[in-house]
Structure 1
Amino acid sequence: MPNTDSNITSEPTSSNKKPFLQSNMPLVAGVAIVALSSGLLGYSVGHRQGLTVVGYDADAEQLVEVVQKQKTELAVLHKSLNTAVQERDIAVSNSNDLGLTVIKSRDAQEQAENLGVLYREVLRQRGGIALAVQHLAIKPLPENAFEYQLDLMQVSPNKANVSGSVEMRLIQGTEVLTVPMEDKNFNFENNERLTGRWTMPKGFNPSFIEVRLNGSGKQVIRRFSWTKGPAVDNQAAFLSEIPQTEANVN
C-alpha cells in the first residue's frame, strides 16, 4: 500500500512539467530571437563604427598632408618676402647714398665754377691770360692706335673770343710726323677741349710731341716728352662718349 501511494503521488508532478514547457515555448523563442537580434545589431554597429574610424584616419592623413604642403609654401613665400624686403632696404639705402653723393658732387662743382669765375675775374683785372695749352693727354689704344685730348684756355680782359687752329707734331730725331686731327680749329672765350684718334706708323717711336697754336696773329708752341704707357683696353667706342668741356660764358 505505501508503495502504491508513492507512485500515485509522483505521477501528477511529471505531468505538470511537460505542459509548462509546451505552454511557454513562444516566450522561450522570443527570448532567443531578441538575443540573436541584439548580437546582430552589435556586430552591425561595430562594423560600421570600424569603417567610420578607418575613413576618419584616411581623411585625417590627407588633411595633414595638405596642411604640411601649405606650411611649406608659406615658408617659401615668407623667405621670398624677407629677401624682397632686404633688397628693397639695400636699394633704398643705396639710392639715399647715391642721392647724397650727387648732391655733394653738384655742390663741389658749383663751388669750383664759382671759384673759376672769381679767379677769371681777378685775372681779367690783372690783364688776363693769353692763349695757352692747359692740358694734353695721350692714351695708347690697341693695334698701335692713340687718342689725344687737348685742353686750351685763355682769359681775355674784354671777354673776347679767341679763334685759330692747332697742329700737333711727333718728333723722332730729325723726322717729324704731323698728327692727323679730326678738328684742328678752335673758337672759344675761356676754354675748349679737342679730341681725336690716329694710328702710329709702324717703327716710328717719337721722343717728343709738339703742340702749335695759331690764333689772333700769334703762335704758341709747347713741347712734351713722349712716354708710352700701357694700352687702354676698356676704351669708349666713340669719341662723342667722352665728356666735352664747354665754353663758359661768364
Structure 2
Amino acid sequence: MPNSDSNITSDSKKTFLQTNMSLAIGAAVIAVSSGLLGYSVGHRQGLTVVGYDADAEQLVEVVQKQKTELAAMHKSLNTAVQERDVAVSNSNDLYLAVNKARDEQEQSENLGVLYREVLRQRGGIALAVQHLAIKPLPDNAFEYQLDLMQVNPGKRNASGTVEMRLIQGTEVMTVPMDDKNFNFENNERLTGRWTMPKGFTPNFIEVRLNGPATPVVRRFSWSKGQPVENQSAFLSEIPQAEANAN
C-alpha cells in the first residue's frame, strides 16, 4: 500500500509538470521578450533625446546668428536714414541760401541800374579805377585784381589800355599783364599774376588808363600781407585784398 501511494504521488507530479510546462515556457518567453522590447524602446528613446538636444542647440545658434545679423542691418538702416535726413536738411538749407543770395543779387543789380540812371541824368562818371587788390602768393608771386568803371551819359563804351607800374624810389618796374586792353560800358575786371624780382620791394603801385580822353593815373601805397599757401586754380576764387590809396 505505501508503494502504491508513492507511485500515485509521483505520477501526479509528472502529470502536473507536463501540463504546466508549456505555460512556464510561454511565461519565460514573454518575460524575455518584454525585457528585450523594453531595452530596445528605451535605447531608441535615448537616442531620440540625444538627437533632439543636438538639433535644439544648433537651432539656438542659428537663431542667435540671425538676431545678430538683423541687429546689424537695423543699425545700418538707422544710420542710412539719419544720413538721408541730414542730407535732405542740408539740401533744403542750401536751396534756401541760394535763393536768398540770388534774390539779394537781383536786388543789388536793380539798385545798380537805378543808381547808374540817376548818375547819367546828373552827368555821369568819367572813367576811373574803382578798386585794386594785390594778393601775395608763394614763390614771390603776386596776383592783381583791377576793377574799372564809368557811367557815360550817352551809354558809350570806355576803351583803351592799362599800364601798372611798381615804384621803388627812382626805380620803376612795369607789371606784365596778360590782357591790358579794356572795352566796357559800365564796369570791367582785369586779373593776372606776375613774379616779383628778388630784392625789389616797391613803395607804390601806379595804375595808368590810356584812352581817347585824358589818361587816368592813380597811385596806391604798397602794403604786403601774408602769402596764400593754398592758391586757387581760378583767379576769381581768391579773396580780395584792398591796397591803401594815396
On whether the aligned pair clears a TM of 0.5, the verdict is yes
User: Does residue 226 of structure 2 align to residue 230 of structure 1?
Assistant: yes
In the superposition, the TM-score normalised over structure 1's length comes to 0.91
Q: What letter is aligned with 2:47?
A: L
Alignment equivalent of 1:204, drawn from 174, 177, 200: 200
Look up the match of 1:93.
Answer: 89
Compute the displacement of 1:18 (Å): 2.9
- Write the distance in 1 (CA, Å) between the matches of 2:91 and 2:234: 30
Alignment equivalent of 2:108, drawn from 109, 112, 120: 112
Contact 2:231 2:238 in 1 (8 A): no
Map 1:31-180 to 2 at 5 A.
31-180=27-176
Compute the displacement of 1:16 (Å): 2.1
- Write the distance in 2 (CA, Å) between the matches of 1:224 and 1:17: 152
Compute the displacement of 1:87 (Å): 0.5
- Write the distance in 2 (CA, Å) between the matches of 1:235 and 1:112: 29
Look up the match of 1:248.
Answer: none
Provide the alpha-carbon RMSD of the alignment: 1.8
Q: Deviations 1:96-151 (Å, cap 9, x if unpaired)?
A: 00000000000110010010011101101111000000100000011111110000
User: Does residue 179 of structure 2 align to residue 183 of structure 1?
Assistant: yes
- Write the distance in 2 (CA, Å) between the matches of 1:180 and 1:232: 21
Contact 2:141 2:196 in 1 (8 A): yes
Compute the displacement of 1:11 (Å): 5.8
- Write the distance in 1 (CA, Å) between the matches of 2:9 and 2:21: 19
Counting matched residue pairs gives: 239
Compute the displacement of 1:8 (Å): 6.3
Q: Deviations 1:66-122 (Å, cap 9, x if unpaired)?
A: 111111111111111011001000000000000000000001100100100111011
In percent, how many aligned pairs have the same letter? 81
Structure 1 moving runs of 4+ over 6 Å? 240-243
Q: Deviations 1:168-221 (Å, cap 9, x if unpaired)?
A: 111111111111111111000000000111111111111011111112222111
- Write the distance in 2 (CA, Å) between the matches of 1:48 and 1:58: 16
Return 5+ residue gaps in structure 2 as ranges. 240-246
Return 5+ residue gaps in structure 1 as ranges. 244-250
Compute the displacement of 1:17 (Å): 2.7
- Write the distance in 2 (CA, Å) between the matches of 1:38 and 1:220: 129
Alignment equivalent of 2:18, drawn from 9, 16, 22: 22
- Write the distance in 2 (CA, Å) between the matches of 1:124 and 1:7: 171
Compute the displacement of 1:12 (Å): 3.7
- Write the distance in 2 (CA, Å) between the matches of 1:106 and 1:56: 73
- Write the distance in 2 (CA, Å) between the matches of 1:242 and 1:118: 30
Q: Deviations 1:206-240 (Å, cap 9, x if unpaired)?
A: 10111111122221111111001100111123547
- Write the distance in 2 (CA, Å) between the matches of 1:242 and 1:233: 11
Look up the match of 1:247.
Answer: none
* Distance change >3 Å, CA 231–CA 242, structure 1 → 2: closer
What secondary structure, in the 3-state scheme, does the structure 2 residue paired with 1:24 have? helix
